[in-house]
Amino acid sequence: MPAIRNIAVGLPVKQGHVLALSGTDRSRGLDFLRAIGGGIEFGERAEEALHREFREELDITLQAVELLGVRDNIFTYEGVPGHEIAHIYAVRSIELDEVPLDAELHVLDEGSPVRWVPIAEVRDGRRPLFPDGATELLLSLAAS
């Protein structure tokens, strides 16, 4: 029986852009964005996992996090079904504030590209943002 994975992800926003991982699902020919973060370990709180994931993936320290919502993310990636419970946070970091909008970062442990993407591209559907529900939470965050 497949397991449900609990994850914590963050949405850094700067000057009308969101920092997100760029990915491709070759089975569907879909280019997409994914919020930065990852799995919550046993005995770890979601917020702790978020801080740990940003350190592990980007070597970034977060100064402030705010839970925006928790969403079910039932999906198929590369033809394989998945199910996540996603804790989605607004995040702030002095280090990220210093990263230029045209910079390309890479996830340290696997090399995926991470970029500042105009929120307008997410809003108009040019590039879907995952996990499910992250787009709506991002748009409400950007409007505030």
Is the peptide bond prior to 118 cis by the omega test (within 30 degrees of 0)?
Answer: no
Tens digit of pLDDT for each residue in 21-53? 998 889 888 899 999 999 999 999 999 999 999
User: Rounded to two decimals, what is the model's pTM?
Assistant: 0.94
Per-residue confidence (pLDDT) for residue 2, from 0 to 100: 80
User: Which residues neighbour 34 within 8 Å (Cβ) at sequence distance 6 or greater?
Assistant: 9, 20, 21, 23, 129, 130, 131
For residues 119 and 125, what is the distance between their CA atoms, to the nearest angstrom?
A: 10
9 pLDDT more than 60: yes
Please name the amino acid found at residue 123: R
Domain boundaries defined on the chain: 5-143
Closest to 8 measured CA to CA, from 51, 33, 38? 38
Q: C-alpha angle 52/123/136, rounded to 5°?
A: 55
Per-residue confidence (pLDDT) for residue 143, from 0 to 100: 83
Tens digit of pLDDT for each residue in 63-105? 999 999 999 999 988 888 889 999 999 999 999 999 999 999 9
Candidate CATH numbers 3.90.79.10, 3.40.50.1260, 3.50.50.60, 3.40.50.620; the one for domain 5-143: 3.90.79.10
pLDDT, the chain, mean: 93
61 pLDDT more than 80: yes
